[in-house]
Structure formats: C-alpha cells, structure tokens
Amino acid sequence: MDLLNALVAILNFVVIPAASYGAQLALGALGVTLIYGILRFSNFAHGDTMAFGAAMVILITWGLQALGIGLGPLPTALLALPFGIALSAVFILGTDRAVYRFYRRKRSAPIILVMASVGVMFIMNGLTRLIIGVDEIRFDDGARFVFTVRDFRDWTGLSEGLSLRVSQLITLVVTALACWGLFRFLNRSRAGKAMRAYSDNEDLALLSGIDPERVVRLTWLIATALAVTAGTLYGLDKSFKVFNYFQILLPIFAASIVGGLGNPLGAVAGGFIVAFSEVAVTYPWKKIATYLGFEPQGLLQLLSTEYKFAVSFVILIVVLLFRPTGLLRGKSV
Amino acid sequence: MSNIRQADASSPWRAPILFLVLALLFLAEGSFRNALFSGSWNTALAILNMGLISAVMALGVNMQWGYAGLFNAGVVGFLALGGLAPVLVSTAPVAGAWAAGGPRVVLALLVGLGTLVLAAQAWRRVPGLMRVPALVAVLGLGFVLYRWLFDPAVMAIEANNSASAGHIGGLGWPVLLSWPVGALFAAAAAWGVGKVALGLRSDYLAIATLGIGEIIVAVMRNEEWLSRGVKNVSGIPRPVPYELDLQSDPDFVARAAEWGLSPALASGIWVKLLYAGLFGAVLLVLILLAELALKSPWGRMMRAIRDNETAAEAMGKDVTRRHLQIFVIGSAVIGLAGAMMVTLDGLLSPNSFNPLRYTFLIWVMVIVGGSGNNWGAALGAILIWFLWIKAEVWGPELMRLLTGPLPAGALRDHLLGSAPHMRFIALGLVLLLVLRFAPRGLVPEK
Amino acid sequence: MAEPYLSATAMRGGYGKADILNGCTLTVDKGQIAVIVGPNGAGKSTAMKAVFGMLALREGRVTLAGEDITGLTPQERVRKGMGFVPQTHNIFPTMTVEENLEMGAYIRQDDFTGTLEQVYDLFPAVADKRKQNAGELSGGQRQQVAVGRALMTRPSLLMLDEPTAGVSPIVMDELFDRIIEVARTGISILMVEQNARQALEIADIGYVLVQGANRYTDSGQALLADPEVRRTFLGG
Ligand SMILES: Nc1ncnc2c1ncn2[C@@H]1O[C@H](COP(=O)(O)OP(=O)(O)O)[C@@H](O)[C@H]1O
Ligand SMILES: [Mg+2]
C-alpha cells in the first residue's frame, strides 16, 4: 500500500509536472535547434518570441472571450493559437528581412548574428511589455482538472492523491502532435528534406539547387510556430509573465545543447532530460522516503527551487566538458 | 561597405569632439531647468558617477569583445560578484555571526571545492569501467558531507540577530581594499567558466555565461547568510565624507557660503565630486593600462588572433589560452566596477541585478562607443547611461506629445503608462542600427 | 574545328587580392575524359570552382555547348547540365543514401526513379545501403554516393574533384572503371586527380597545372610518355 502511495506521489509531484515542463522545453529547444542548424547561430530572442507569441494569443483569447466564443472545457487559447502564430510569424519574418538577412549575405561570424538577436530580443521584450504589461496574467479558462486529487482518492482509496490538470494534458497532447508533424515533415516532405540538407551541408545544398532564402523562411516559420505553441502552453500551465520567458532561455539552450545543437530529436530528448533533472533535484523527497519506511531528518531536497536554473547550467557544463557535440551528436563544435 | 561609409571616422578630432558634446550635455543637465533637463547639479553629478562606473564595466566588456571577440552574456553575474566584496571586506563584523557558524561554513565550502577537485582527479585517474561509479561516489559523498556541514551553520548564522543582521558580516577593512577583492572574485568565476566554455563554438561561451550570470544573481538573492538576500545589506562604509558630517563642519559651511550655496546642497555636490574624482581616476588608470597592454606584443597578438583565428592557430598560438586570459582580465574589471557601484550606493541590493540593465545595456554601450577602442567604450558608456536615465523623463514627455491628439481614455492611459517600456525598444533599435550601419561605433578602433 | 563542349579559357582570379589562377585554360569534348593533375596547392580545386561559377573570375570566359555561361550562378549551371562533386564535404552526412540522391535531383520536376535505379545499378554497393546515413559509410562508398548525387540531374558534364582521395587501391580501380562507364554514356568528364599516373591512363586529354597556369597540355598517353612530365610530376 505504501509502495503504491509512494509511486502515486512520485507520479503526482515529479513525473507529471516534469513531463509537461519537459514538453514545453522540448518545443522551445526544437525551435532553437532548427534555427541553429539552418542559420547557424544561437537565437537569444527565442525566449521573447515565446513571450511575444503568448501575448498575441492572450489578446486574441480575450477578444474571443468577449465575443462569447470558446471551446467548452478546453481553454479558448487553443483556438487563438493559430492566429497568434500567424501574427508572430509575420513579425519574425520581418526581423529576418530587416536584420538577419544582411549578415547572412555577408557571411558574418555567428557571434555577430547572436548579437543581432540580442537587439531583436530587446525590441520584442519591449513590445511585449508595451502591449500586455509586466504583470502576471492567467488566461486559462474552461475546466481546470481532468481529474482532481479528491476524484483519484475516491476511485482508488489510496491516501495519496493524484491530479491531472487540463493544461498538463493539453501540453502533452499538443507536443506529441507537433513533434509527430515536425518529424514527418522533416523526413518525408521535399521541403523538409531540403531543410535537413541545407543544415547538413550548406554549399552542397546550393549546388543541388535548393533556394536558401526559402529554406530560411521556412525555418523561421516552423521555429516561430513551435515557440508560440511552447510559450502559450507554458503560460497556460504556470501563468504569463514576461520576465519568466527570459529566464526559460537558459533551460532551453541547455536542452538543445544536451541533445546536440542542430539535431531535432536531440532537442526533444534534451528538453525532457533538463526538465526531469530540474524537478527531481528540487523536489523534497521526504514524503516518498517516509512511505518507503525511512525516517529522514531533513526535507531530502537536493537544491531549493530558487536554484532550479542551476540544474540546467550544471547539465550544460557537464555536456560541454564531456561531449560538446551533445548526446545525439549535433553540429561540430 | 560600412568601412567606406566610416572612412572619415578615424579623424583624430572625433573622440575629443564627442567628449566635448558629452560634457555640454552634462552642463546643460546641471544648469537648465526645463522639460528636457533637471537643472540640478546633484542630479547631473549622480548621473555622471554612475556613468563613470558604467564606463569601467564597458571597458571590461570591451576587452572581451573588442580585443578578442568573446561574447559575455553574464556581465550582471560578474558585476554582482564584485559587489559582494564591499560587503564581505568592509562592512562591520556582525557580533556573534562568525562564532555561530563561520568556520563551519568555510569548511563546508572547502569540502565542496575539494569534492570537485577530487571528482576531476577521479575522472582522470580511475581507469575504465570504474570511472563513472567513482565519479558518482565522490560527488555523492562530497555533497552529503557538504550539506551536513553547511546547513546547520547557515541556520545558525541566519538566526543570529536576524532582524538587523542574520548574515556573516564583513571584516571591517577599508572599503577601497574591497575593490580589488571584487575584481578577484569575478576573475575566479570567470576562470571557471572560461576553462569549460572557451575553445568550443563561440556561442557556447555566450550561453554558459548567461547561465553563470543567472546563478550568481540567484545565489545573492537566496543566500541570506551571505548577502541578506532581499533584505539588502546597507551601511557599507564610504571612501568619502558623509554629507551630515560636512554640514556640521563650520569650515565647510563657511566655504559653501562663499560660493553662495546652502550647506545641504554644497555637501551633496562635494561628496559627488569626490566620488567622480575617484571613479574618474580609476577609469583613467584602467584605460592607460589597457592602451599600454594593447600596444605591447601581447596586445598585438590578441588582435591578430581576433582578426584571424585560424591563421593565428596555424602559427602556433594557443588561442584558447589567450582567450582565457583576456576573459578573466575583462571579468575582473567588471567585478571591480561592481564593487565600485555597491560602494557608491552604500547598499547591496541583490534584487536589483537585472540582466537587461546590467548585461545587455553595457553591451549597447560598447557597441555604440566603438568595440575595440577603450576611449570609445568609455564614451559610449557615459553617453548611453545619460540617455538611459533621461529616457525615463523624456519617454513619457514624448508619449504625452504623441498621444495629445488621442481622446482621453483607456488606450491613451495605456500608452502613457507603457512609456518606460519604450526604453527597451529604443535600446534594441540603437543596437541593431549601430551594428548594421556603423559597426565600428562612434569612436572606431585605430 | 568545332568548339569543344566545355571550354574555359584564360581564367584569372582568386579568393582575395592575390590571383590563384593565372591564365588557366581547360577544355573537354563531348563524351571525353579530361584530367587535371599537378602539385598540391597548384589551384586545381580553384580552377574547378571557377569553371562551376563558385569563384568570381577577373578575366576569362567559360562556355558550355557554345553558350557563354561566365555570368551564371552555380545553380543555374546545374540547370544547364553541369554536375559537380567537390573535393570535400560532398555528401549530406545525416541523410540517408537515398535522400542524398533525392537531393541531387532537387531541381528535377519529372519522375526521377529511373535515374535513381541507374545510379544504383552503377554503384551496387551503395544500393544495398540506401536506408543508411551517408555519413556512416566507408570512404569509397561516400565518394560513390557523392558521384551518384551529381548524376541525378542527368548532367552532360560531370566535374569530379579528387574522387579517389582517401580510398583503398582496389576501390580506386573500381571507381575509375565506373567513371569510364559514365563517360561511355556520352557524359563529358572533367576530373582532378592525385593519382596522376592512373588517371592519365584513362584520360583523353590531360592538363598539368602549376601555380594556376597550364604547364603541359596533351593527350593522356602523350603526357605519360613525356620524360619531362614523368620526372617532375609522376615521380620517375
Ligand atoms: N577558400 C580559400 N580561401 C583562400 N585561399 C584559398 C582557399 N582555398 C584555397 N586557397 C588557396 O589557393 C591555393 C590553391 O588551392 P587549391 O585550388 O585548393 O589547390 P589544389 O586543389 O591544387 O591542391 C592554395 O594556395 C590555397 O591556400
Ligand atoms: Mg584540391
């Protein structure tokens, strides 16, 4: 019985939160890794792309709510998401035209592009603050839980409870669909293969007649769609606050490097590795240890939650030390 | 293309003229009272002082970026680490804090460090299959021992007079001594990060420093025993007299009267002038040293490496080693600036270390001023800092002007209320425009 | 005499200020094999890039089937019927063999399964590994994939930059046989080779390039017979 309780507690406090957080990171890291693979720089504006996109989604959600349009038990934000993606994509393609294309044509060093992305980050950050403010915003409507702790206890009779929030379930489902669609696209479609070819060997792709500008546009489009989805899911799951999206940049970078920059499959794996490590390290295991018959003195928390970003950092450092190309071999060092 | 456009930029008069313009801006700030300027010398000098400190930060970033092309995205962390030094070195000792847990904390930190060293040794020495288990064992045991030592000690320190202290306190040494210590703190952290992230792709350093920056700030916010966290550490001693002391000094009051100034005003201005002299001296010495270094064989090699890394590597230069050197030195300068800043504020406020303000704003200063040129970086720093502060006043004014025709209502209020956010947009635009159209900045490298 | 199928005449140009090519001339007739040999750093790869439009020429002209193509981009030259296998980085390593070939046919709008089968027939060894990532293949197999990729557009001129670099002697012989086979189908071949002796054996015309200029130009057999060429470039 206690063993079951311990398992339920692990599921409730570690596995489910980490899985949905990991899914959000994975979507973000996919965008970073795609941009890295094609445009060959680490996009510092990615976190703010997530924030900007989520802000767009929130505005549209409010609009839809005012019109009385909703999705019943599902959050209205899901309906607003495609529109948010479209608006953000227009903006991001604009930044490519106005900012990045110049350096791409000049074949500038990657670090110059990183710097330019910092400029874009500032502008997007300012715009997001301007549009929606700096306060915390909750925009999840519809049902909150798929099942609650009480439901679970009633069903099972266990003393330990388990709940699943709608936002968590949606995160997992949407991420699974997005990954499935993305990998199908990359592996099956002509355009997707052209993207992979360009990422693999830019010069040879040019010799094969692949239009680099089309590949780049497509990459921004996909990365933006993933980023806005990630940003919206993150906002639904926690809440929307501009600064949090700057902070999530580090775990996202860590995830994409762990998986191997430029390697999409690696980005997904990296997202979950970072998320599970973060949650496992900052979770107080006392309760579970007690179920298992130990009588621990302290909380058995390896690191307080304020330091959760340190986990990403340590993972990052370990990977850089021992395997700089990432677990699944990304682009060369 | 941009080189042609900036061909005239290398005129020898360019820097002096720009500095003159800057001086005029400060004169205007001090003397005219209107919608644009405050007309207060106190305000003008306060901006100047922080501008000088920003110039020191910019100098450090310029060494890393301008000399070596290294992107440090964690300036805020090195700055905060430097800012810790005045607290630990020169605040008064907290009664009972050391006795409560000082030695134990130090021991814990040593154990932590030793664990890492031992782990590295284990990784290097233990052969084959036992390697990973050995590493895990060392790290695990080390961590348990560390926490066993650390946690009770921290609790004891934080419990000691927690309302007004609750931290380990300082040594009570002169505050100027803490400045080089701040530089050392930052240098040590930079060495650790650089050791790992340099020699890999250039983006990796940016990402790793972004991480270390966030972590250092998180440590300062949460380790109350060290920095009092959100409770702030105040009472950091000053290298200059206190205004109140001056106001009660008859000599000073008499001399202020000669100038026709009230004692309160005169004391404020005098203190700020002293600070300005101090910071200005540090800045000049640093620029001088940096220029000397740049002209030495070492500096020429540095620039050769930056301009063509592959060629330099082919010629047998140890590029990674050079990069580590310059990264550590640049971070030390940033740490020094952190110590100076906390000294000026008389307060360590861990919550105020914001990456946008203290990492990316400094970057804009360097890029605008002229990456690779020390005078340019200093100029850019003071100028951008002036504009950054004034934008707080000018932004809403501008918004009011722009929204004048709009009917009063929610949209107008929203726009007026959002004016401060425009600063970020303006900053981003400036960065992008300079990077694109004048990549060599206001005062280009010679 | 009719103009050769490909003719690149008096090419001058380089990567920066200094010229690497100093009046180099290369021609290939329809269905013939032309081989460029020469010491390391002579500018052989540079000459190939110049012919393919990957290097801006300061002087000189390139014509293909009588048409001046000097101003065309590499992509446009691919559409004109040129195929190029660079010396290095000539495959997509994380894509499968089949995907590599598909990318070779990227500009083709028609059904290219026939060409795919022809390439597999030509290189049975890679046909067996069509679902494997090209980066995981052996050196010789990679080169076969690279050549196959360039053949996917059904070029009339195939340019190969050291196709046998880093492969074992047996594989090299095999590759040469395949190249002859390709030439027999009427495709002109312009090839740079380190293994000068063997390459010249199969060459209809050979160029010895030194410091970006033609030192000797003759039929392959004549060059092999020339004692001066033998002593200086073929090691006796
Ligand atoms: N991308 C490049 N940029 C600058 N110089 C180059 C480049 N590629 C080759 N070179 C120089 O051009 C010369 C000729 O090189 P290459 O054509 O590769 O010689 P080969 O193929 O005959 O060995 C060499 O001196 C080489 O250093
Ligand atoms: Mg070559």
Strands B233-234 and C157-161: unpaired
Ordered DSSP codes for B59-72: HHHHIIIIIH----
β-bridge mates for residue C18, sequence order: none
> What local confidence, expressed as pLDDT, does residue A333 receive?
37
- Do residues A73 and A143 lie in contact, with contact meaning Cβ atoms separated by under 8 Å? yes
The answer to whether residue B99 is domain-embedded is yes
The answer to whether residue B46 is domain-embedded is yes
Q: Are residues B255 and B369 in the same domain?
A: yes
**CATH of segment(s) A2-322:** 1.10.3470
What is the interface pTM, i.e. ipTM, of the complex?
Answer: 0.91
The three-state secondary structure class of C64 is strand
Q: Are residues B253 and B328 in the same domain?
A: yes
Cβ atoms within 10 Å, residue C5:
20
CA B162 vs CA B159, B165, B168, B232, C50: distances in Å: 5, 5, 11, 12, 76
Give the ligand at the shortest distance from the Cα of C37.
1
The three-state secondary structure class of B241 is coil
Q: How far apart are CA C208 and CA C231, in angstroms?
A: 13
The three-state secondary structure class of A271 is helix
CA C121 vs CA B152, C86, C116, C137, C182: distances in Å: 75, 23, 9, 18, 12
- As a whole number, mean pLDDT of residues C138-147 equals 92
Please give the model's pTM, rounded to 2 decimal places. 0.89
- Do residues A85 and A225 lie in contact, with contact meaning Cβ atoms separated by under 8 Å? yes
**DSSP letter, residue B351:** G
Q: Are residues B152 and B265 in the same domain?
A: no
Q: How many domains does chain B have?
A: 2
Q: Is C44 in the pocket of ligand 1 (CB under 6 A)?
A: yes
Q: Is C199 in the pocket of ligand 1 (CB under 6 A)?
A: no
Q: How far apart are CA C19 and CA C236, in angstroms?
A: 31
State the Cα angle at B172 between B169 and B175, rounded to 5°. Answer: 110
- Do residues C10 and C59 lie in contact, with contact meaning Cβ atoms separated by under 8 Å? yes
pLDDT tens across the length of chain B (446 residues) = 344 344 444 577 888 898 999 999 998 888 888 878 888 888 999 999 999 999 999 999 999 998 888 999 999 999 999 999 999 998 888 888 788 888 898 999 999 999 999 988 888 888 888 888 888 899 999 999 998 998 888 888 888 877 777 788 778 899 999 999 999 999 999 999 998 888 787 788 888 899 899 899 999 998 888 888 888 888 888 998 888 888 888 888 888 888 888 888 899 999 999 999 999 999 999 999 999 998 898 888 888 888 877 777 777 778 889 899 999 999 999 999 999 999 999 989 988 998 888 998 999 999 999 888 899 999 999 999 999 888 888 878 888 888 878 777 777 787 777 777 888 888 899 999 999 998 888 888 87
Ordered DSSP codes for B235-298: ----SS--HHHHHT-HHHHHHHHHTT--HHHHHHHHHHHHHHHHHHHHHHHHHHHHHHHHHSHH
Q: Which residue, B146, B168, B190, sits at the end of a domain?
A: B168
C-alpha atoms less than 13 angstroms from C-alpha of A223 in its C-beta half-sphere? 31
> What local confidence, expressed as pLDDT, does residue B279 receive?
96
- Do residues B380 and B58 lie in contact, with contact meaning Cβ atoms separated by under 8 Å? yes
Measured in angstroms, the CA of A196 and the nearest CA of chain C are apart by: 8
- Do residues A27 and A227 lie in contact, with contact meaning Cβ atoms separated by under 8 Å? yes
Q: Are residues B65 and B152 in the same domain?
A: no
Give residue-wise pLDDT tens across range C6-49. 999 999 999 888 899 999 999 999 989 999 999 999 999 999 99
β-bridge mates for residue C7, sequence order: C27, C63
Chain C residue set in contact with A, beta carbons under 8 Å: 52, 74-75, 78-79, 84, 86, 89-95, 99, 102-104, 106-107, 149
- Do residues B239 and B89 lie in contact, with contact meaning Cβ atoms separated by under 8 Å? no
Which residues, including other chains, have CB under 8 Å from residue A71's CB and lie 6 or more apart?
A: A78, A79, A142
What number of residues does chain A have? 333
Q: How far apart are CA B292 and CA B286, in angstroms?
A: 10
- Do residues A313 and A254 lie in contact, with contact meaning Cβ atoms separated by under 8 Å? yes
Rg value, chain B, Cα:
24
Q: Are residues B46 and B176 in the same domain?
A: yes
Q: Which residues of C touch A210 (CB under 8 A)?
A: 103, 106
Q: How far apart are CA B335 and CA B415, in angstroms?
A: 38
Question: What's the C44 CA to ligand 1 centre distance in angstroms?
Answer: 8
- Written as six digits, the tokens of B394 are 């000018």
The CATH number of residue B69's host domain is 1.10.3470
Locate all alpha helices (DSSP H) within B63-130, ordered by sequence.
68, 75-90, 97-125
Q: Are residues B157 and B39 in the same domain?
A: no
- Do residues C6 and C28 lie in contact, with contact meaning Cβ atoms separated by under 8 Å? yes
* Nearest ligand 1 atom to alpha carbon C161: 21
Q: Which residues of C touch A193 (CB under 8 A)?
A: 95, 99, 102-103
Q: Which residue, B149, B168, B187, sits at the end of a domain?
A: B168
Q: Are residues B104 and B40 in the same domain?
A: no
Give the residue from C214, C182, C220 showing the smallest Cα distance to C198: C220
Q: How far apart are CA B415 and CA B419, in angstroms?
A: 6
- The residue type of A107 is R
- Residue whose CA is at the smallest distance from ligand 1 atom 4: C15
State the Cα angle at B305 between B301 and B307, rounded to 5°. Answer: 115
Give residue-wise pLDDT tens across range A212-260. 999 999 999 999 999 999 999 999 999 999 989 988 999 999 999 998 8
Give the residue from B353, B411, B265 showing the smallest Cα distance to B84: B353
Q: Are residues B33 and B146 in the same domain?
A: no
Q: Are residues B322 and B195 in the same domain?
A: yes
Q: Are residues B228 and B314 in the same domain?
A: yes
Q: Are residues B19 and B33 in the same domain?
A: yes
Confidence bin at C137 (pLDDT 50/70/90): very high
CA A51 vs CA A132, A223, A246, B426, C21: distances in Å: 10, 14, 8, 19, 53
> What local confidence, expressed as pLDDT, does residue C195 receive?
87
The answer to whether residue B3 is domain-embedded is no
Determine which helix (DSSP H) or strand (DSSP E) holds C174, and give its type and residue range: helix C169-184
Q: How far apart are CA C210 and CA A118, in angstroms?
A: 48
Q: How far apart are CA B439 and CA B417, in angstroms?
A: 34
Q: Is C212 in the pocket of ligand 1 (CB under 6 A)?
A: no
Instruction: Give which of A118, A125, A246 to mutate to test B binding, by max B Cβ within 10 Å.
Output: A118
**Helix, strand counts (H, E) of chain B:** 21, 2
Q: Which residue, B135, B168, B201, sits at the end of a domain?
A: B168
Q: How far apart are CA B66 and CA B53, in angstroms?
A: 19
pLDDT < 70 positions in chain A: 329-333
CA C198 vs CA A257, C26, C141, C173, C182: distances in Å: 46, 20, 20, 9, 17
By residue range, what is the domain housing residue B209? 12-93+169-437
Q: How far apart are CA C121 and CA C104, in angstroms?
A: 17
The answer to whether residue B27 is domain-embedded is yes
Q: Are residues B207 and B155 in the same domain?
A: no
Cβ atoms within 10 Å, residue C215:
17
Is A44–B69 a contact, with Cβ atoms under 8 angstroms apart? no
Is A210–C106 a contact, with Cβ atoms under 8 angstroms apart? yes
pLDDT-above-70 percentage for chain A: 98
